[in-house]
Amino acid sequence: MIRIYNTLSKKKEEFIPLEEGKVRMYVCGPTVYNFIHIGNARPMIVFDTVRRYMEHKGYEVNFVSNFTDVDDKIIKKANEEGVSADEISSRYIAECKKDMEGMNIMPATTHPLATQEIDGMIEMISILIEKGYAYAVNGTVYFRTRRFETYGKLSHKNLDDLQGGNRSLLVSGEDEKEDSLDFVLWKPKKEGEPYWVSPWGEGRPGWHIECSVMSRKYLGEQIDIHGGGEDLVFPHHENEIAQSEACSGSVFARYWMHNAFLNIDNRKMSKSLGNFFTVREISEKYDLQILRFFMLNAHYRSPLNFSAELMEASKNALERVQTAVDNLKYLAECAATEELSAQESESIKESEVFESDFDRAMDDDFNTADAIAAVFDLVKFANTHAKEGSSRSFAQTLCGKIQSLCDILGIITEKKAELLDTEIEGLIEERQAARKAKDFSRADEIRNLLLEKGIILEDTREGVKWKRA
């Protein structure tokens, strides 16, 4: 039995799917205007692991995670570079997918793009206006927050407290609202911005409506699990509930899961503090499997502190697992006997306790920290019991158990084969030749290949220098 901490009820609840054997899951994805940062990586890793565990338990998971590809930040970046917003979002979706692959994040069942779902957004907004939950003023459409009686049920905020904390209405269009708490569903176009034609004039959707529409289209009006970072609880997820439930008249999501923040050296990550790291920057120093291992070493609802020391500790810990797997493979290859001995059969039965511990941890609100502890107990058991003279079957069985548990966590147990210095030099020469021939895609390909193998290139005046990460 899986128990999930539901932000809505503020307690752990037994997971009962809407449809037996199936899970409908929506996770808010990134806004694609730059490389994703390690704060973005945490929900990606957390909910990929939730999905993997659900599949391990036999569920068929329909996992939807969007890309927000129209947004003020994307438009700002496009204007700075003198290119279209579409060019910026397409570029960074591709880069995001590269980083996700490095972190061993499975592609979603569907990765919808906001810009391809505008018709659905116009349709949902029209329904909300018809039902009296929304109104249009001079090309802007607002949601009547007070009309939705249970507003605040996810964030556990009181409407009157929100009203009290609200800033005074300024002459910024805010004074068009019937109530200062009303939020935007559709906004009119501004000069130089992408826009779509709607019944309320040319414009673009508000952010909140996008996820409601994409979830509804690909998962149906009711879903099992909605996930994201805790920063999205209010107002984004609160507004999603209001829009979706006002439109359909039924409960939107049964279980709301939120991961806690990621801090850097015990401080909030921010560009102004100079402690802002992208996943790509981390990949220049570490295999991204280490980042994944590090993220899963804490419970997803606990704040997580990122530091060089903790990354080094994760690197060493992951190497222990990988070394144990390598050792078991070697013992299996060199084994003189095939079949299990009576004592080995007994040991295999003993080792089942670690798999039970793993499942117990994951069943308890996906406690990956305790699940990893169970993996290490199994590694220690294997290191103690599998020796020279062990049967092939014994070494292979223990190896399979470690790999199987790691696979549920999305942790790859194979060590990356190191390139020889001569191979590195050869690839650098090929890259230089490609650049000379203006074949920049091949040059980038070689650089990325070397990066995957832990080789960092530095283009200097004296030529290309390289080092191992």
Instruction: Verify that 318 and 464 share a domain, yes or no.
Output: no
Cis peptide before 235 (omega within 30 of 0): yes
Write down the pLDDT at residue 417.
67
264 lies in some domain: no
459 lies in some domain: yes
Q: Per-residue confidence at 164, pLDDT binned at 50, 70, 90?
A: low
Residue 71 in contact with residue 89, Cβ under 8 Å? Answer: no
pTM surpassing 0.95? no
Instruction: Verify that 431 and 346 share a domain, yes or no.
Output: no
Write down the pLDDT at residue 175.
67
Mean pLDDT (the chain, rounded)? 93
14 lies in some domain: yes
Write down the pLDDT at residue 115.
97
Q: Is the pLDDT of residue 192 over 90?
A: no
Instruction: Verify that 428 and 401 share a domain, yes or no.
Output: no
Residue range 323-338: average pLDDT? Answer: 94
CATH of the domain at 11: 3.40.50.620
Write down the pLDDT at residue 195.
96
Positive/negative CA dihedral, 154, 159, 160, 165? positive
Q: Is the pLDDT of residue 451 over 90?
A: no
Write down the pLDDT at residue 171.
37
399 lies in some domain: yes
Instruction: Verify that 338 and 239 share a domain, yes or no.
Output: no
> What is the rounded distance in angstroms from the CA atom of residue 452 to the CA atom of residue 423?
14
Residue type (1 letter), 460:
T
Q: Provide φ and ψ at 125, rounded to 5°.
A: -65, -40
Residue 236 in contact with residue 208, Cβ under 8 Å? Answer: yes
Give the residue from 228, 259, 290 where a domain finishes. 259
Instruction: Verify that 399 and 426 share a domain, yes or no.
Output: no
Residue range 348-366: average pLDDT? Answer: 98
Instruction: Verify that 64 and 143 share a domain, yes or no.
Output: yes
Instruction: Verify that 184 and 61 share a domain, yes or no.
Output: yes
Model confidence over 199-249: pLDDT tens digits? Answer: 999 999 999 999 999 999 999 999 999 999 999 999 999 999 999 999 999
Residue range 94-114: average pLDDT? Answer: 97
**Pairing relationship of beta strands 262-264 and 267-268 according to DSSP bridges:** antiparallel
User: Phi-psi category of 228—alpha, beta or left, where left has phi over 0 and alpha has psi -120 to 50?
Assistant: left
Instruction: Verify that 354 and 388 share a domain, yes or no.
Output: yes
Write down the pLDDT at residue 435.
86
Token pair in block for residue 426 = 């050869």
Write down the pLDDT at residue 440.
86
Q: Is the pLDDT of residue 142 over 90?
A: yes
Give the residue from 211, 228, 259 where a domain finishes. 259
Q: Per-residue confidence at 160, pLDDT binned at 50, 70, 90?
A: confident
Model confidence over 9-65: pLDDT tens digits? Answer: 999 999 999 999 999 999 999 999 999 999 999 999 999 999 999 999 999 999 999
HSE-up (13 A, CA, CB side) for residue 305: 8
CATH of the domain at 286: 1.10.730.10
397 lies in some domain: yes
Instruction: Verify that 455 and 346 share a domain, yes or no.
Output: no
HSE-up (13 A, CA, CB side) for residue 49: 32
Q: Is the pLDDT of residue 92 over 80?
A: yes
State how many domains the chain has: 3
Give me Rg for the CA atoms of the chain.
26
Q: CA-based angle 164:167:168, to the nearest 5? A: 100
> What is the rounded distance in angstroms from the CA atom of residue 186 to the CA atom of residue 338?
68
pLDDT, greater one: 199 or 173: 199
Instruction: Verify that 56 and 151 share a domain, yes or no.
Output: yes
Model confidence over 280-301: pLDDT tens digits? Answer: 999 888 899 999 999 999 999 9
416 lies in some domain: no
Domain hosting 458: range is 421-468
> What is the rounded distance in angstroms from the CA atom of residue 438 to the CA atom of residue 36?
28
Residue from 334, 401, 296, 362 nearest 41 by CA: 296
Give the residue from 408, 431, 449 where a domain finishes. 408
Instruction: Verify that 360 and 461 share a domain, yes or no.
Output: no
What DSSP state is assigned to residue 176? G
Q: Look at residue 425 and give its three-state secondary structure.
A: helix
269 lies in some domain: no
**Measured between alpha carbons, how far is residue 269 from residues 39, 272, 439 in Å?**
8, 9, 37
> What is the rounded distance in angstroms from the CA atom of residue 237 to the CA atom of residue 449?
39
> What is the rounded distance in angstroms from the CA atom of residue 75 to the CA atom of residue 85?
5
77 lies in some domain: yes
Write down the pLDDT at residue 174.
57
Residue from 285, 206, 189, 296 nearest 242 by CA: 206
Q: Per-residue confidence at 420, pLDDT binned at 50, 70, 90?
A: low
Q: Per-residue confidence at 426, pLDDT binned at 50, 70, 90?
A: confident
Instruction: Verify that 224 and 87 share a domain, yes or no.
Output: yes
